[in-house]
Amino acid sequence: MSNWIENAVFYHIYPLGFCGAPVKNDFQSEPVERLLKILDWIDHFKSMGINALYLGPVFESAEHGYDTVNYFTVDRRLGTNETLKRVVMELHNNGIKVVLDAVFNHTGRDFFAFKNLQHYGESSIYKEWFYGLDFNNRSPLNDPFDYHTWDGHYNLVKFNLNNPDTSEHLFEAVKMWVGEFNIDGLRLDAAADLTEGFMQNLSTLTKELKKNFWLMGEVVHGDYNIWANKNTLQSTTNYECYKGLYSSFNDTNMHEIAYALKRQSGSGGVYKNIRLYNFLDNHDVDRIASSLHNRTHLFPLHILLFTMPGIPSIYYGSEWGITGHKGGYNDMALRPSLDLDSMYKENSDDLKSVIT
């Protein structure tokens, strides 16, 4: 029996934006089942041949989902655990696999172990859970200690994944996600910053939990073989070709993408044995319709996306060629709430027909 990923066509949704959730979590409101909106889009997914859905962060967080507070509870702005269970079940009933975003490199400042550290300082039983603690200095947010972060963002506290208790907490969450929600894979946020040992142990665990469970890592730079190999992950994001795809069309010179594809998958290609995750845009970069100088290039560009080696993915809304620019530290323009009926009424289906 073949692995489902061999024929996967992904649709990528950033749930908090897609569902129109409040920007910040008050941690008091009753859950609102906004995630059920996905069910209204299933026929749309199927009309394009989508058979796999990658959902951005869905677990309780303070703001954007990558500042996780509770790895075992669905964000109240999206619903409850039962909401997610229902969504996954309905997607499965329609032949669509589900991959969740896993944020394991860092956590939010409202995470229970970090709150304990703030209260007890060097006496905290959780001080080994976090990386780079320095009790001789204060953090920029006036904590009585400094700590390492993701990319200098102090609301994203870096985990110490060499600590067995930290890793076990996250692995228990994965067991729960597979057991309760029956998910089919994980996209590992900031995979380039995860330890090799953590990824190896995660790979071993998921292979035991579910056959053909898929692990894909977010990697921007470097040799993808470091992360995608028989001991760790099955795939990574293909940022090398992401850049080459749109810039080759903008420059009306296909050398860049041709070189990248030959290097990756040609004779002696460095990634011939890896199905890389290909995309034209996502929740972190400008919409492809905004990146291109000539909008008509959307059509041949999508044909190339679906014919090049690897796994194709469409970011929600880009099947209509919607625009959006990254704005400094604010990515809201890239993560809008969309109404399906309005999208059909206000946009041409020409590009969608090419994807189909």
Quick one: average pLDDT of 325-335?
Answer: 85
Q: What does the pLDDT read at residue 214?
A: 98
Q: If you compute the radius of gyration of the chain from its CA atoms, what whole number of angstroms results? A: 20
Distance (Å, whole) CA 136 – CA 247:
47
Position 352 confidence tier, pLDDT thresholds 50, 70, 90: confident
Residues 6+ apart with CB under 8 A from 342: none
Say yes or no to pLDDT of 244 above 60: yes
Distance (Å, whole) CA 165 – CA 119:
20
Within the chain, all domains assigned CATH 3.20.20.80 are found at 4-105+184-355
Instruction: Return the CATH architecture of domain 106-160.
Output: Alpha-Beta Complex (3.90)
How many other CB atoms are found less than 10 A from the CB of residue 66? 22
* pLDDT tens-place string over residues 80-90: 999 999 999 99
Tokens of 325: 């620019």
Distance (Å, whole) CA 43 – CA 236:
28
Say yes or no to pLDDT of 300 above 80: yes
**φ and ψ at residue 143, rounded to 5 degrees:** -70, 155
Say yes or no to pLDDT of 61 above 60: yes
Stated pTM of the model: 0.96
Tokens of 172: 């228990």
* pLDDT tens-place string over residues 186-211: 999 999 999 999 999 999 999 999 99
Q: What does the pLDDT read at residue 356?
A: 80
In what order do the strands lie in the sheet containing 214-217? Answer: 235-236, 214-217, 185-188, 97-102, 52-55, 10-13, 311-315, 277-279
Say yes or no to pLDDT of 159 above 50: yes
Class of domain 4-105+184-355: alpha beta
- What are the distances in angstroms from CA 238 to CA 2, 192, 266, 335? 23, 13, 16, 21
The lowest-confidence range among 173-177, 317-321, 328-332 is 328-332
